[in-house]
Amino acid sequence: MIATESLSKRFPRVTALDRLSVDIGPGVTGLVGANGAGKSTLIKILLGLSPASEGRAEVLGLDVATKGAAIRERVGYMPEHDCLPPDVSATEFVVHMARMSGLPPTAARERTADTLRHVRLYEERYRPIGGYSTGMKQRVKLAQALVHDPRLVFLDEPTNGLDPVGRDEMLGLIRRIHTDFGISVLVTSHLLGELERTCDHVVVIDGGKLLRSSSTTDFTQTTTTLAVEVTDTDDHPDGTKALREALLARGADVQDGGAGLPGAGHLLLLTARSEETYDLVRDTVAGLGLGLVRMEQRRHHISEVFTTADEQGDQQRKEAVGHGG
Ligand SMILES: Nc1ncnc2c1ncn2[C@@H]1O[C@H](COP(=O)(O)OP(=O)(O)OP(=O)(O)O)[C@@H](O)[C@H]1O
């Protein structure tokens, strides 16, 4: 669907995209990155609205440098910022956008009604947009991106400004764009957690560079990290420390449970190389006379991808991870 090759965009003071090479197939793909990571810049280049400084990109097999108009005919776009006229109704606006995309009047009206029903704005469709809530406005923007029945849509921060209920509703609609209509989706967000549930594939960019591109299941697959928590006893007032030392003496790969989390001081993380690691933990705990509170496999979270990145932009990444819950 989308392929970029060493794509760069330089503004006088900042490099928004830095030699980005990525392939995106059909389905729902999340483009994740902190504010300023380059998500909107990439979308504008892919739509042929802004020229790249270097490199090349294709959307649906069309070169963005020369085939912008053809791409925009086949691709829907939901921009990040509010761009809706307050005095017209959702129906008038979406029909207008459908006509701009080349649909004849009758088809434009029919597609508008279908699309507004899909985004659940059917009852309110004749009211002026100025009186709509943020969630309703986001859904009008989504409707105009879908009305000309594109093969692919770019949704730039569609959950921005929504409360948790509105966000869940929007994520459900996005998922159904693909399942009900077969339209592929590229959706951007700085909220990592929400894309975990919605997307088949996630592309993470940071400072305009590709950090990772893989299927959502690869991001969240079960790892071989074991989290172990034990009780303290009279013999071992710090049971965790005693267990750590005993396991290290037996050659296990042990780390502390990570700072900042409640109870993390009492957690040990072990790399489980095989079933024997489970036996080793159980036997060591029993040998020390400690109680085993829990021993469980840890799952990766998408946000962990940020913790492996370099120090640059660390604060922004923390913010993004913090909002990701
Ligand atoms: N027209 C422009 N002129 C100069 N700098 C720009 C321009 N557009 C974007 N930038 C800069 O390029 C970088 C990437 O911006 P971009 O809008 O693509 O990020 P983003 O990931 O979409 O973040 P956000 O969600 O905040 O929009 C930022 O540092 C931004 O300030």
The closest residue, in CA terms, to atom 11 on ligand 1 is: 16
Domain final residue, candidates 189, 219, 249: 219
**Does residue 186 lie within any of the structural domains?**
yes
Clarify whether residues 207 and 264 are in a common domain. no
ipTM of predicted assembly, 2 dp: 0.94
**Is pLDDT at 304 greater than 70 in this prediction?**
no
- Please tell me the distance from the alpha carbon of residue 288 to that of residue 278, in angstroms, as a whole number: 16
- pTM for this model (two decimals): 0.72
Tens digit of each residue's pLDDT (9 = 90 or more) over 50-74:
999 999 999 999 999 999 999 998 9
Range of the domain at 137: 2-219
9 Cβ below 6 A of ligand 1: no
The average pLDDT across 304-309 equals 50
Work out the mean pLDDT of the chain and round it to a whole number.
85
What whole-number percentage of the chain has pLDDT above 70? 87
Number of the ligand 1 atom closest to the C-alpha atom of 44: 18
Torsion angle of the four alpha carbons 182, 186, 188, 192, in this order, in degrees rounded to the nearest 10: 70
**Does residue 323 lie within any of the structural domains?**
no
The average pLDDT across 292-297 equals 85
**Does residue 266 lie within any of the structural domains?**
yes
Clarify whether residues 95 and 113 are in a common domain. yes
65 Cβ below 6 A of ligand 1: no
Clarify whether residues 148 and 203 are in a common domain. yes
Contact, 212 vs 204, CB < 8 A? yes
The closest residue, in CA terms, to atom 29 on ligand 1 is: 36
Q: Tokens 């053809």 correspond to what residue?
A: 70
Number of domains in the chain: 2
Clarify whether residues 126 and 75 are in a common domain. yes
Contact, 94 vs 147, CB < 8 A? yes
CATH of the domain at 246: 3.30.70.100
Clarify whether residues 264 and 144 are in a common domain. no
Clarify whether residues 138 and 267 are in a common domain. no
Clarify whether residues 103 and 234 are in a common domain. no
> 270 versus 138: which is more confidently predicted?
138
- Please tell me the distance from the alpha carbon of residue 233 to that of residue 237, in angstroms, as a whole number: 5
Clarify whether residues 173 and 214 are in a common domain. yes
> 124 versus 222: which is more confidently predicted?
124
Q: How far is the CA of 35 from the centre of ligand 1 (A)?
A: 8
207 Cβ below 6 A of ligand 1: no
**Does residue 317 lie within any of the structural domains?**
no
Number of the ligand 1 atom closest to the C-alpha atom of 41: 18
**Does residue 316 lie within any of the structural domains?**
no
Clarify whether residues 201 and 229 are in a common domain. no
The H-assigned helical ranges of the chain are: 39-46, 68-74, 90-100, 105-118, 134-146, 164-181, 192-198, 216-220, 239-249, 275-288, 304-307, 314-322
- Please tell me the distance from the alpha carbon of residue 115 to that of residue 227, in angstroms, as a whole number: 47
Tens digit of each residue's pLDDT (9 = 90 or more) over 105-116:
999 999 999 999
What whole-number percentage of the chain has pLDDT above 90? 57
Confidence at residue 177, expressed as pLDDT on a 0 to 100 scale: 92
CA geometry: angle at 157 spanning 152 and 162, to 5°?
Answer: 125
**Does residue 307 lie within any of the structural domains?**
no
Clarify whether residues 170 and 21 are in a common domain. yes
**Is pLDDT at 310 greater than 70 in this prediction?**
no
- With CA atoms as reference, report the closest residue to 9 among 32, 43, 34, 33: 43
> 262 versus 192: which is more confidently predicted?
192
Q: What is the DSSP letter of 89?
A: B
Confidence at residue 206, expressed as pLDDT on a 0 to 100 scale: 87
Clarify whether residues 143 and 282 are in a common domain. no
DSSP, residue by residue, 110-129: HHHHHHHHHTT-STTTTSBG
Clarify whether residues 214 and 226 are in a common domain. no
Q: For residue 35, count other CB atoms closer than 10 A to its CB.
A: 11
What radius of gyration do the chain's Cα atoms show?
A: 25
Determine the residue of 7, 9, 39, 316 to mutate for testing ligand 1's pocket, defined as the one with the most ligand atoms within 8 A of the Cβ atom: 39
